[in-house]
């Protein structure tokens, strides 16, 4: 995919204010130009996905259509450090810290896990032709649940990202 330069902000001296008479038509043109450029900059900045991944709830910089409200709604993001995967088949539950008295609609749930010593890195969820190698990921009212089919304790660094709408 080609880089879309239409929303990149120019970095140069856009305005020459030397010898500018504040009562002149040129000054009015300058103000109009500044307003247009600031408006364009705000649209460009607001259209970008924010590349901040924190353990605290953060605006993701995305807007998502919500059928229930018929409006675009902001998406929030949170990263949960899930540590080491389970040492036998089963499910590990890690509290996500969202207030379960609020309503949420999840837009994305994804993660990665790393076996740092063996230099093996897997996405979560992980699909495999071997059932025991699968890694399942789901979220409930209180927890992130990671289900493995065998000992995966060599994977000691695990992060899950949840992106959601609040209502």
* pTM for the whole structure: 0.73
The conformational region for residue 4 under phi > 0 = left, psi -120 to 50 = alpha, else beta, is beta
pLDDT given at position 43: 78
Q: What is the pLDDT of residues 63-113, one digit of tens each?
A: 888 777 777 888 999 999 999 999 999 999 999 999 988 888 899 999 999
Residue 165 has pLDDT above 60, yes or no: yes
* 96 shares a domain with 142: yes
Within-domain flag for 147: yes
* 162 shares a domain with 82: yes
* 27 shares a domain with 67: no
* 144 shares a domain with 92: yes
Distance CA 147, CA 126 (A): 10
Contact between 124 and 113 (Cβ < 8 Å): yes
Taking Cα atoms as reference points, which of 126, 108, 111, 89 lies closest to residue 157?
Answer: 111
- Residue 61 tokens read as 């910089």
* 128 shares a domain with 104: yes
Residue 166 pLDDT grade (very low, low, confident, very high; cuts 50, 70, 90): confident
The domain in which residue 76 lies consists of: 58-166
* 81 shares a domain with 137: yes
- C-alpha of 73 from chain center: 14
Neighbour count for residue 37 (Cβ, 10 Å): 14
Contact between 124 and 137 (Cβ < 8 Å): yes
Q: What is the pLDDT of residues 42-65, one digit of tens each?
A: 877 777 788 888 899 888 888 888
- Residue 73 tokens read as 């709604």
Residue 1 pLDDT grade (very low, low, confident, very high; cuts 50, 70, 90): very low
Q: What's the structural domain count of the chain?
A: 2
């Amino acid at each position: 995919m080609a880089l879309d330069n239409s929303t990149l902000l120019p970095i140069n001296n856009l305005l020459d204010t030397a010898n500018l008479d504040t009562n002149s038509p040129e000054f009015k043109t300058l103000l109009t130009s500044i307003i247009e450029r600031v408006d364009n900059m705000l649209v460009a900045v607001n259209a970008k996905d924010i590349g901040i991944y924190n353990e605290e709830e953060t605006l993701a910089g995305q807007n998502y259509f919500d059928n229930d409200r018929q409006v675009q709604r902001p998406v929030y993001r949170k990263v949960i450090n899930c540590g080491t995967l389970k040492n036998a088949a089963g499910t590990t539950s890690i509290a996500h810290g969202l207030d379960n008295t609020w309503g949420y609609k999840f837009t994305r749930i994804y993660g990665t896990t790393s076996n740092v010593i063996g230099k093996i890195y897997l996405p979560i969820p992980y699909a495999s032709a071997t059932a025991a190698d699968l890694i399942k990921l789901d979220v409930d009212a209180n927890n992130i649940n990671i289900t493995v089919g065998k000992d995966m304790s060599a994977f000691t660094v695990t992060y899950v990202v949840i992106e959601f709408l609040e209502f």
